[in-house]
Amino acid sequence: MKKAYKSRYIYYDGKVSTDKYLIFDEKIIGISDNSEDAEKIYEKENSIIMPAFINTHTHLPMSLFRGLADDIPLMDWLRNYIWPAESKYLSEEFVYDATLLAACEMIHSGTVCGNDMYFYSKNIGEAIKKAGLKVVLGAGILDFPTKFGKDIDDYLNNALKLYEYFRGDRDVRIALSPHAPYTVSPESYKRCIKFAEKYDLLIHTHLAETMDEVNNIKQKYGKTPVSLMDEVGLFDTKSILAHMVHLTEEEIDVIGKKSANISHCLESNLKLGSGFANIKKYMDAGANVSIGTDGAASNNDLDMLGELSTVAKFHKGLNLDPTVLDAGTVIDMATKNAARGLFLENCGELKNGFYADFIVVRFDDPFTVPVFNPVSQVVYSAKTQNIVDFFVNGDPVMVDGKIVTIDENEVIEKARWWGDRIK
């Protein structure tokens, strides 16, 4: 069905157009001064139509562990709180319910797709499809036995089953997710690369997140995590690297020359005290940097809009330069850079032939008026409540601030039930 949406502003093909209609069906057709005989017409005054955000590093089911353990260093947080909780509570039902909760948060904050790394990935995919969103599902790989696999062969076999289950699905892509160099050996990474290349999959991993990781890997292998992964060939295949906080100048040069895809998770890194990456250097060197929230247990939210504002302002202060990472740049990081980093075709921008994945942001409250630059207004002033409409593949998932694909109240009540059990 041909549809049209009129708005005061449309951020189309990287430029702001005024008082136009966005013409679309499943994909974007273009912009026009009139509705082009559309069968369905929408309109919101005092608003901007933007490409929906893509979150390039998530652990979606950890939404049910939000606030479980705060103000704790990463390895203490993992070993003494998160991993024991996961061991006790993870199930297909838990992961499905937790992903629906995450999906509600994604919708309200304008996020169409998450690049996820977790367990029971089939259930994550099913929940995301029910919510009307998109996902890149990471099949987890570890070097030690868990209830999800007993060895590398078992984990890879599970990944193959996941790939076959969602094969050909428009909105669910599969990735291979070796956890990190401190839980997966170089030999296992090489097997993951070989497997991923055979099935044309993305590899999604944590890398160089903390100084403890750097020191432990140097002690074990005689080189840094980034140098180790360069040696195994991770930067020479389809991959996206979460965090990348602690790099030497030489390593920044390497990832730049290899156009590495990096998911910058600033708020999580700050909250866990892991440090922060000067991503301007990475981008200047040639790396493709996008934005991730990490999981809601370490952030503690999946709010990409808030993450954009934090990233933009933090790096201005870090570089003592207010021109660093302007509003348009951080929106690109959360949209087209993200799509490029996840190898998603026809996603991440509003332009002819791309999927009609867009949000509508209202400027009609005390903290969003007056409007001089609508793109800056989105990054520096807007809140999640300003995102009022959301379309995925041309179909509404939220209208006038109300999610229309799933029952949000039911999801919240189930989350409370799980919270009472975990307490």
Q: Is 349 annotated as a binding residue?
A: no
CB 311 within 8 Å of CB 264: yes
Q: Is 294 annotated as a binding residue?
A: yes
Phi, psi of 169 (to 5 degrees): -70, 130
- CB atoms near residue 318 (< 10 Å): 15
Q: Is 108 annotated as a binding residue?
A: no
Q: How many helices (H) and strands (E) does the chain have?
A: 16, 16
CA distance 107 to 130: 12
Q: Where are the beta strands (DSSP E) in 213-332?
A: 239-243, 261-264, 288-291
Burial 143-153 (b: 16+ CB within 10 A, else e): beeeebbeebe
Contacts of 420 (CB under 8 A, 6+ apart): none
DSSP element (H, E) containing 409: helix 408-422
Q: Is 179 annotated as a binding residue?
A: yes
CA distance 165 to 251: 38
Residues tagged in the binding site annotation for Zn(2+): 57, 59, 206, 294
Residues tagged in the binding site annotation for substrate: 86, 179, 209, 294
Residues tagged in the binding site annotation: 57, 59, 86, 179, 206, 209, 294
